[in-house]
Amino acid sequence: MDISEQLFERAKRVLPGGVNSPVRAYRAVGMAPRFITRADGAYIYDEDGKRYIDYVCSWGPMILGHNHPVIREAVERAVKDGLSFGAPTRREVEIAELMIGMVPNIEMVRMVNSGTEAVMSALRLARGATGRDKLIKFEGCYHGHSDCMLVNAGSSALAGGHPSSAGVPVGAARDTLTAQFNDLASVEALLEQNPGQVAAVIVEPVAANMGVVGPAPGFLEGLRALCDKHGSLLIFDEVITGFRLAPGGAQAYFGVRADLVTFGKIIGGGMPVGAYCGSRALLEQVAPCGPVYQAGTLSGNPVAMAAGLAQLTYLREHPEVYEHINAKGAALVEGLRQLVKRTGAPVVINQLGSLLAPFFTPTAVTTFTDAKGSDVAKYARYFQGMLERGVALAPAQFEAMFISEAHTQAELDATLAAAEAVFQTL
């Protein structure tokens, strides 16, 4: 047993499944997880001294690569002033101003500690503001683990076989209606069957927890129109797409306005942060201004704000980052598609900007049904082969690959060389 395997055995005695988040247990790829000691640039290093090109990027936050000096130094400076005050700070104002300046259609920001909290709070706000209880989400989209969102969810909930979790009271899930991603008619039908009752439609503008599936032309615009027609709020869950597709996120990238937007990941620079944002009229319904209660002991934590502020400031001052990561996404997908042609491997690769996912299926993947129909056992073999060759992909089919500013042509070439070898074995 190598050191990671030994640590995993120890971990399983004290942590459920040996981990603090299910996907990390590598169950979907049938092996023991790597235990990571450090990360730098495009690489992560494990307890056994092995180095991997990292396409997990902490599930998205590390858009500039790991251990970026600008963020590390901001955190080091912040730590010297104390770890938490439970009181307002200048940095919270600065990061909110920065986000409002970069993202269209948001006038106010409330900081929380995770993407889950951001979505849970945005949904409460939507229900409070509209006086309606029902919500529409999409099968295979993941919005964190609040009760009402663990209904037909994606990500590890799907990979682990529990898209609708045990422990969610019937009452908490009853008002969550499920539609199909890229199928406007399924949304329209639910809105018509529940007239005047749907508080919000929540969507990942790019579905990135069923692998990666982009919105079909007109899908997001159609959701906007349906929400307007039925008086429901449109929530973009931009925990993955926010500050990744573009500085203004999916709203800017696709030119569609959302009423509420949730963020996480990138806005924390690697620290635990989430936020929900929208118009002044909506956000002023939140306590202490309005009747929708939401609070947090560590919300707006000064160290987390320093990391997020440093990362977002860097992104605002270096918009070329987006050209770079999107071009690298396009180059990687092009290289992989050529390999698919050459080797005849039955693989479809979806890509939007710096988000990618391979599906082991011969036909296009544009819906959740298509994604679910791909060969997950083959994905597991692909993952294992790539890891052996020093490339760390998401350890489950229903996740995204993330490209950072730190990935260079050398890493892309090494990734393609590894993929060529692995495709031949599948």
Ligand X SMILES: N[C@H](C=O)CCC(=O)O
Ligand Y SMILES: Cc1ncc(COP(=O)(O)O)c(C=O)c1O
Catalytically active residues are: 142, 237, 265
For residue 410, the tally of other CB atoms under 10 A from its CB is 10
Cα torsion for 121, 366, 249, 62, to the nearest 10°? 90
Strands 355-359 and 401-402: antiparallel
Give the burial class of 220: count Cβ atoms within 10 A of its Cβ; 0-12 exposed, 13-18 middle, 19 or more buried.
buried
Q: Give, as ranges, the residues between 365 and 404 that touch ligand X (CB under 6 A).
A: 399
Contacts for 417 with CB less than 8 Å, ≥ 6 apart: 389
- Contact between 68 and 299 (Cβ < 8 Å): no
370 binds ligand Y (CB under 6 A): no
Q: How far apart are CA 330 and CA 334, in angstroms?
A: 6
- Judged by CB, which is closer to ligand X: 108, or 394? 394
Strand partners, 357: 350
Q: Which residue in 183, 237, 259, 411 binds ligand Y (CB under 6 A)?
A: 237
Q: Which of 150, 240, 245, 339 binds ligand Y (CB under 6 A)?
A: 240
Sheet-wide strand order for 134-138: 108-112, 274-278, 260-263, 233-237, 198-203, 134-138, 176-179
Instruction: Indicate which single residue of 67, 114, 165, 180 sits in contact with ligand Y (rule: CB under 6 A).
Output: 114
Longest dimension (CA), the chain: 61
Task: Count other Cβ atoms within 10 Å, centred on residue 162.
Answer: 14
Contact 176, 235 (CB under 8 A): no
State the minimum distance, in angstroms, from the CB of residue 264 to ligand Y.
4
Which of 23, 106, 207, 226: binder of ligand X (CB under 6 A)? 23
- Residue 59 is a binding residue for ligand X (CB under 6 A): yes
Task: Tell me whether residue 209 or residue 384 sits nearer to ligand X (CB atom).
Answer: 209
Choices 72-80, 139-147, 169-177, 298-306 (CB under 6 A): range interacting with ligand Y: 139-147
Out of 99, 102, 109, 119, the residue judged to bind ligand Y by CB under 6 A: 119
156 forms part of the interface with ligand X (CB under 6 A): yes
Considering only 204, 259, 370, 405, the residue that binds ligand Y (CB under 6 A) is 204
Residue 201, contacted partner among ligand X, ligand Y, none, CB below 5-8 A by kind = none
The interface partner of residue 23, options being ligand Y, ligand X, none and the CB cut-off 5 to 8 Å by kind, is ligand X
Instruction: Please give the structure tokens belonging to residue 136.
Output: 């529409």
Q: Judged by CB under 6 A, does residue 354 bind ligand X?
A: no
3-state SS class at 38: strand
Which residue is listed with tokens 């009423």? 259
Q: Is 155 in the site for ligand X (CB under 6 A)?
A: yes
Enumerate residues 143-162 that contact ligand Y by CB under 6 A. 143-144
269 sits near ligand Y (criterion: CB under 6 A): no
> Applying CB under 6 A, which residues contact ligand Y?
114-116, 119, 142-144, 204, 209, 237, 239-240, 264, 274
> Applying CB under 6 A, which residues contact ligand X?
21, 23, 59, 142, 155-156, 209, 240, 399
